Structure 1
Amino acid sequence: MNICFIKQVIGVLIGSFIFLSSANGQASKPVDTIQLKPVQVAPHTYFVQGFPAMGNSANQNFISNAGFVVTPKGVVVVDALGSPILAQKLIAEIKKITPQKVVALIVSHYHADHVYGLQEFKKIGAKIYAQGEGKNYLSSETAKKRLIASRIEFAPWINANTKLISADVWIDQKLKLSIGGMDFLISRVGPAHAPEDLMVYVPSEKVLFAGDLVFRGRIPFVGNADSKGWLLGLDEIEKFNPKIVIPGHGNYSVNPSEDIAFTRNYLKYLRESMSAAAINMDLFEDAYKQADWSEYEGMPLFKAANRMNAYNVYLSIQAE
């Protein structure tokens, strides 16, 4: 008798749960609280700044920057952000600023947090520019597996409808794009942070879009980067002598040399602290423990990224 009663109670509870779940279906859907607020950094140039965090469903993978320049003949955007919903929001913000259509989008590099929004710009007719090495990423198993994982990790913002988008124009080394009387000097600086790194300099604005060659306010993500090439890329940025640098992550810089120095010094220290162990085939663990990370350990993403960064530099030095 008691068993029957317990079953009845359980049945009522399950039925109530199903009813409440159906009646309040909206409650189970994630709340969209992410807002993009373009900041004007030059007469015709704006950017939006991502969070100094790891990407997740709550932040819609809004962890990187994107920027745009308004010309008399259309808008040029640099990077597409990390999910279609973010790209939609960026397009909406651009429309608030100008009636000009987005005519071009330049990809700084094919990392997920910069390109998962590309399909939204493709839909509105923007021509997409990227460096030719990006074709290797798009055809790789890594790209396919990363997207599959992202559809779970960042659901529902990245889902089965999110696609990898190829560029319309593949750049080799350099391209001068002229739109509405404004020049955009696009230069390859990879292999560096990525094999297909591009930077974009707008002479009339004295603004340089650095992509992930420059990080501000957080530990850089090194991944499988060519740290030696990355250091050379930072030198290339400074040759333009820009007044403003928009990094791939963090706030824009009005003191480029000073802020570029942060990324440069971090990469140099990674190489210095790992070099001897890598060359002598000593254990990575010992080299990592002996290094002095005090300058960086209080920064956002230190715990998430620094150890991996050091290990990847350790391996890359062995391969040089």
Structure 2
Amino acid sequence: MVLGLLPAATRAEAAPATVDMPLVQAAEGVYFVQGESAMGSAANQNFISNAGFVIADGGVMVIDSLGSPALARRLIEQIRRITPLPIRYVVITHYHADHIYGLQALRDEGTRLVAHARSREYIGSETARLRLQASRDELFPWIDESTAVQEPDIWLGADGSEADTVLHIGRTEFIVRHAGPAHTPEDLIVHVPSRGVLFAGDLVFRNRIPYVGMADSRSWVVALDRILSFQPRVVVPGHGDASIDPQADLGLTRDYLNHLRTSMGEAARNLEPFDEAYARTDWGRFAKLPLFGAVNRMNAYNTYLLMEQEGK
């Protein structure tokens, strides 16, 4: 299977002051748009993450909503270039700003929003409020006073069950699995067995340094194995290009997390100051990847704190 850009005739024309958003076809009826390997900014309109959609008989499933309402409207335009079918669901893989600020545009289409109940920890929190406030300052006019964090219409796992949820659009089956806590407490993955495609959200970063933040990196490594248990032919990550060799390509995320845990874990056990531990650690394998300079030190520090807690 070969992943490829759709012909130019099927792409949305780039409007003034908007980013280019070509579609990539991952399988029959399965598409995604790929954000830049960059930090969010007004210049890139916060187009730094991926979002995908699947055309089924009777409707469309969308996975994630991009980082602004304007981007989500561009995504909807792309969908409409291929099919007039209604957008039935959008599955929110996790509540990070670059994946959720477009949700209101999809809700305006009558789409039902689906997320895991653990996302309640973020929705309405002070963290969410401050993040939105900062985004309105840093990403204006793409994020402004009209942008709001949206609650889902369907809460998965609200009863404490961790069983897979199966959604149907026509005859197409979508298996939604809670794979967190990992990158976030609420991580969801979406498997489309009939198309051989799995949408991994930010459990998988390709060709760039992952953003670790306050993630549970030990569980994140386990979650990668849960992705592979589906034996997908194609994995669409939250950031970066799709993988047609998941077993090999998921290795970068796993190896990076394990390297953080090994190096920072040793430092924490030996009560070595973080600055000294960071300076002596060999980052050579990862140092040339995009966003290394922007996020690696923060990733290492947060992992150092995590390993201190795990060691108690």
Fold similarity call, TM over 0.5: yes
| 1:44 equivalent in alignment to 2:29 | yes
Aligned pair partner of 1:250 in 234, 237, 240: 240
| 1:121 equivalent in alignment to 2:111 | no
Mapping 1:114-263, distance limit 5 Å = 114-172=99-157, 173=162, 174-263=164-253
SS of the residue corresponding to residue 138 of structure 1 reads coil
Find the structure with the greater CA-based Rg: 1
Partners of 2:196 and 2:233 within 8 A in 1: yes
- Alignment deviations for residues 47-88 of structure 1 (CA, whole Å, 9 cap, x no partner): 000000000000000000000000111000000000010000
| 1:54 equivalent in alignment to 2:39 | yes
- Alignment deviations for residues 81-109 of structure 1 (CA, whole Å, 9 cap, x no partner): 00010000000000001111111000000
- Counterpart for residue 34 of structure 1: 19
SS of the residue corresponding to residue 146 of structure 2 reads coil
Partners of 2:62 and 2:89 within 8 A in 1: yes
What CA distance in whole angstroms lies between the structure 2 residues aligned with 1:33 and 1:145? 26
**Structure 1 runs, 4 residues or longer, greater than 4 Å off:** none
Aligned length: 291
Q: TM-score of the superposition, structure 2-length normalised?
A: 0.92
- Counterpart for residue 72 of structure 1: 57
Task: Identify the range of structure 1 (220-229 vs 279-288) with the bigger mean alpha-carbon deviation.
Answer: 279-288
| 1:295 equivalent in alignment to 2:285 | yes
What CA distance in whole angstroms lies between the structure 1 residues aligned with 2:137 and 2:237? 28
The alignment-based identity, stated in percent, is 51
SS of the residue corresponding to residue 221 of structure 1 reads coil
Aligned pair partner of 1:102 in 87, 112, 121: 87
What letter corresponds to residue 212 of structure 2 in structure 1? V
Q: TM-score of the superposition, structure 1-length normalised?
A: 0.90
What CA distance in whole angstroms lies between the structure 2 residues aligned with 1:50 and 1:200? 19
What letter corresponds to residue 32 of structure 2 in structure 1? F
- Counterpart for residue 272 of structure 2: 282
- Counterpart for residue 11 of structure 1: none
What CA distance in whole angstroms lies between the structure 2 residues aligned with 1:76 and 1:317? 38
What CA distance in whole angstroms lies between the structure 2 residues aligned with 1:280 and 1:298? 29
Partners of 2:42 and 2:140 within 8 A in 1: yes
Aligned pair partner of 1:317 in 302, 307, 311: 307
What CA distance in whole angstroms lies between the structure 2 residues aligned with 1:293 and 1:101? 47
What CA distance in whole angstroms lies between the structure 2 residues aligned with 1:287 and 1:100? 54
Bigger share in helix: 1
| 1:305 equivalent in alignment to 2:295 | yes
What CA distance in whole angstroms lies between the structure 1 residues aligned with 2:180 and 2:272? 29
Instruction: Give how far 1:139 is off.
Output: 2.0
What CA distance in whole angstroms lies between the structure 1 residues aligned with 2:269 and 2:181? 22
- Counterpart for residue 12 of structure 2: none
What CA distance in whole angstroms lies between the structure 2 residues aligned with 1:180 and 1:286? 57
SS of the residue corresponding to residue 156 of structure 1 reads coil
> Any unmatched runs of 5+ in structure 1?
1-29
> Any unmatched runs of 5+ in structure 2?
1-14
What CA distance in whole angstroms lies between the structure 1 residues aligned with 2:97 and 2:269? 32
Partners of 2:191 and 2:198 within 8 A in 1: yes
What letter corresponds to residue 36 of structure 2 in structure 1? F
What letter corresponds to residue 48 of structure 2 in structure 1? I
What letter corresponds to residue 226 of structure 1 in structure 2? D
Task: Identify the range of structure 1 (36-45 vs 272-281) with the bigger mean alpha-carbon deviation.
Answer: 272-281
Partners of 2:18 and 2:45 within 8 A in 1: no
What CA distance in whole angstroms lies between the structure 1 residues aligned with 2:91 and 2:113? 6
Partners of 2:166 and 2:173 within 8 A in 1: yes
